[in-house]
Amino acid sequence: MYRMKERIKQFMDYKALNAADLADTIGVQRSNVSHVVNGRNNPSSTFIEKLLLTFPELNARWLITGEGEMVAQQIDIVKAEKAEPSRKPDLFTSSHGETKISAAPKPAHSSDRKSIERIVILYDDSTFKDYRP
């Protein structure tokens, strides 16, 4: 059975990141990542949170327990629309006062494809969260 450090290494290989790149990407000290992947330290909750917020496609259950797939499955919106043409998925759903992205339709033509570069959420207390894929 894999330990979390092996799963982190596997994800780094999947994203073609070395320890320094991962540290810079998620905003932690390089030594922090090095100590985790070398088994000296276990990842802190802050480390795991930053990893999951930076890489939303990373399956948290897989990272923590090893269960499921490494990368979360995408919802096939085109099939859903064909099955229920009158009901299109909402882009935003509210859950306990929070706004969450639930699903986005795929573009019709390959020339229309765009990738998300950055999502910024602004809060009423003048703070924000910055998410980058």
> What are the boundaries of each domain within the chain?
4-65, 77-131
Q: In this model, does residue 99 exceed pLDDT 70?
A: no
Q: Which top CATH class is 4-65? A: mainly alpha
| Per-residue tokens: 5 | 């450090």
| pLDDT score for 6 | 94
**pLDDT mean across residues, the chain:** 77
Q: In this model, does residue 95 exceed pLDDT 50?
A: no
